[in-house]
Amino acid sequence: MVCSCSTVLRQAERGTPTYMCYVLNSKLNSTNPSQKISQMRPASTVAAIVEKRLTNLEIPTTDPNSGKALGQLKSDQTRFTARHRQGGFIGFMDGHVAWFTNFELSSPTIYTNGDYNSFTRVIWDPFDQIVQEGL
């Protein structure tokens, strides 16, 4: 099954090129390829599925992430959506879903090795050295 929001479905009906809305977190295999879901700790903060932007018009052109390639089947904080009240959804490894603004995820208060990991909100790369030391 392909997960798509209503915006994508309307574009597809009009014959407009479309992208996937909900995609895998691209940072999961960044540091340690081929891990098990049971290794994703804490599961309540490790992002599994991310709602990705469909167009660069969702964020201001002054945003440092504006212009990023969006035709990918993966995403991270640099391609996170802003189409639903300036934000979108993330599905976590423990199965819950939460809504965040694009600004919250692209401007974190804690910055770990460029991965924007936040121990209390969203961990993009669960095997980042700083994350491992914090557990």
pLDDT tens per residue across span 54-109? 888 888 888 888 888 887 777 888 888 888 899 999 999 999 999 999 888 877 65
**pLDDT tens digit string along 107-134?**
765 555 556 667 678 888 887 766 666 6
Distances (CA, A) of 112 to 9, 52, 80, 117: 36, 22, 18, 6
Nearest residue to 84 (alpha-carbon basis) of 73, 95, 69, 97: 97
Cα torsion 60, 61, 62, 68: sign: positive
Mention every residue, 6+ apart, whose C-beta is less than 8 A from residue 58.
81, 82, 83, 102
Residue-range domain boundaries for the chain: 21-134
The Cα–Cα gap between 3 and 51 comes to 10
